[in-house]
Amino acid sequence: MDKGKLKGHAALWVANLVWGLNAPIGKSVLWSEHNPGGVSPFALSVYRMLGACLLFWSVSFFLPRERVARRDIVLLLFASVFGIQLNQMLFLWGLSLTSPIDSSIIATVVPVLTMVLATLFLREPITWLKAGGVFLGCAGALLLIMVSRHGTGHTSSVKGDVLCLVSAVSYATYLTAFRNVIVKYSPVTTMKWMFLFAAVVAAAVYYRPLAAVDYAALAPRTWAGIG
């Protein structure tokens, strides 16, 4: 494996590690019958999109400027719908209804869906190595499901699991359908435009859940989780 692929796999491993932490932390922040002091998943999705937008645009000022073609701007707009808006909103909505273990396990279907979609639309071959890796991941996920079902206080929800699954489908679609425009520019350039579109749309659509939050009543732990 060359150094470029090694760095890419290392970055993806770290991203998935952070994503694994995201589920239990997000669950502790979201409103539920067991956590009446939390915020709605729609409000939290806006916080995340706005925060990421500000972060990536701030970082971009310290990096070489990339000119993005108008056609690619439109593609990044649609990419943000599948890769950020639907993915994030559906995941957080599902997470508010189901358990963090279920949501994380369902997220493991993303490689399977991506591999299938890449084969159908990008004509990428399914190798034994790819299939074996996916099989091991699914086997581990099934093992976690079997173990978690025997735990106490399980908060699984069919609706929540389905929302998380649709979120995974949305993200897999983003990875395959918009791969060319994603790799065309630097990650910061791609993310700053995608999160800008996502933040504007989310703030416009979910302004009511944002206004409904009693910010003065949020506990420091909740603020820390949001951060």
Full pLDDT tens readout for the chain, 227 residues: 677 788 888 888 888 788 778 888 988 899 877 788 889 999 999 999 999 999 999 999 999 989 999 999 999 999 999 999 999 999 999 988 888 877 777 777 777 777 777 776 666 676 777 677 767 766 766 666 566 554 444 566 778 888 988 898 899 889 888 988 998 999 999 999 999 999 999 999 999 999 889 898 898 999 999 98
Q: Name the residue among 168, 201, 163 with its Cα closest to residue 50.
A: 201
Can you give the pTM of this predicted structure? 0.80
CA distance 132 to 112: 11
Beta carbons of 122 and 176 less than 8 angstroms apart: yes
- DSSP secondary structure letter of residue 217: G
Reading the block at residue 108, the tokens are 């493991």
Write b or e for each residue in 62-79: b if 16 or more Cβ atoms lie within 10 A of its Cβ, otherwise e.
eeeeeebeeebeebbeeb
Hey, how many other C-beta atoms are within 10 angstroms of the C-beta on 40?
19
Rama region for 123: left / alpha / beta (φ>0; ψ in -120 to 50; rest): left
The count of residues in the chain is 227
